[in-house]
Structure 1
Amino acid sequence: MLHSLSKINVFALALVLSTIVFTGCKDDDDSPIPFPDTKVYDLESVADPNIEGTATFVRVDARTTSVTIVLTGTPTGGVHPAHIHANTAAEGGPIVISLNSVDGTTGTSTTIIQEDDSGNPVTFEDLMEYDGHLNVHLSEDQLDVIVAQGDIGQNELTGKAKRYELEEAAVPGISGTVLFEERRNGEALATISLEGTPEGGVHPAHIHENSAEEGGGIVYTFNPVNGTTGMSMSNVAELDDGTPFGYKDVLKYDGHVNVHLSPEQLDVIVAQGDIGVNAD
């Protein structure tokens, strides 16, 4: 897949470079940058495990950015709307910049950006620092179905991560992990992955004070674990009381994670594990 994506990206970049030359000939006041800055973000599969790819941001000039989406696995004849949204993918957020739809036959789309949907100027530098994510949707009539997705700008992951085990508790057979991944802005993406959760279940999850053996109050609330998939993804930026709380804070925190049976049965813990200083 990487080989085919790289060939398409080279072709897309060549188109952008040719546009730069043409723009430079037309407007001497908007001189092109000889070696445009480029940033590639991964777009992970969501609703369809066969669809994934990249979004390549290229600085064309001081006011203009090209965004090229390249996906594999899209259906022939499909038309897939794409947008830049506010906030992280785990949080979700409104559409801020509408992109050209991805052609299902080729798996590609290219959009030239100079402003957001409200008419505010947007530069390459703005996008590199933006608190946002990019979604590719199934169709115009099914925007709630996301086929590929990726965090961009300050929400990009640095590659640093810490995984903690979640052992089975009151319900035999349910166990897994919670993975914290550092973002460039210092926040964290938390992914809970469990095996053995019942189909259709909704399992609240929290960070609690103290070790699991001691027990303690709730300080952070994750998005609930989906029993069908066994998954939950949350953005960790602050505790429930508003206290700043990012990736580095997780690593030194005196706490533990509980996953509960249901919103009505928080006293029944199905999986549990120490984090931070209690897991060292």
Structure 2
Amino acid sequence: MTNSNHFQAEKINQFIVKWLYDYAINAKVKGFVVGISGGIDSALTSTLCAQTGLPTLCVEMPIHQAESHVNRANEHIDQLKKRFPNVFNSRADLTPVFESFKNQVPSSENEAVLNLSLANTRARLRMTTLYYFAGLHGFLVAGTGNKVEDFGIGFFTKYGDGGVDISPIADLVKSEVRLLASYLQVPESILNAKPTDGLFGDDRSDEDQIGANYDELEWAMEQAEKGKTTEDFYGREAEVIQIYKRLNTINQHKMSPIPFCKLPENF
């Protein structure tokens, strides 16, 4: 992409918006649907989609959601609707759906495994909901993943928030997401909020889950691309490289094409 020290917000903004518009027109679809979480990635993605002038549907999908997340999501949606007449919104409370699902499947005594499975289920229920809205309106589902999440550590749910039609910000690292979001006047409450996936029904942040913050992970991604290893560093830097390498390895199944069994031609 680009060095964050020389980030050209206006040029990058225009490029992504044109890319979104051209893709939608060529695909013969009418607009975009974006899941709004109250986080910076979804706020930026929805703002970029809105700038195309095409209908942009912002969908809030709470599942036992923290009030602070809901408030930030609503603040952003309200602001976006005031700025762009092509933006409209909907709300699908998925809490009853989630609870009904839990009642129909077995539980587990392994609490960590159970909680992770349920967290991923939340993301997949939201994906299903977004595609329902997309089907109703003839829209594309716009993904909200950034470069570190999508191609660095695989910090997303397979067929959950990873199940999208297009990914407009997937070539931006988190610091660039913050710069572009600030340029586009995303609400301060969102710019200053601690990144979180909000999938566990508590206040744990992405950093709590990963063990490193996004600035550290961006640095580690750069070092990995240069071929550096933990042996090239010590202390916290070596620890961060190790975290990055471990997640990059175990999450390759999300970031690589689905393996398929190819039969020999002479069969």
Q: TM-score range by the shorter chain?
A: under 0.3
- Larger CA Rg, structure 1 vs 2: 1
TM-score between the two structures when normalised by the length of structure 1: 0.23
Greater fraction helix: 2
Greater fraction strand: 1
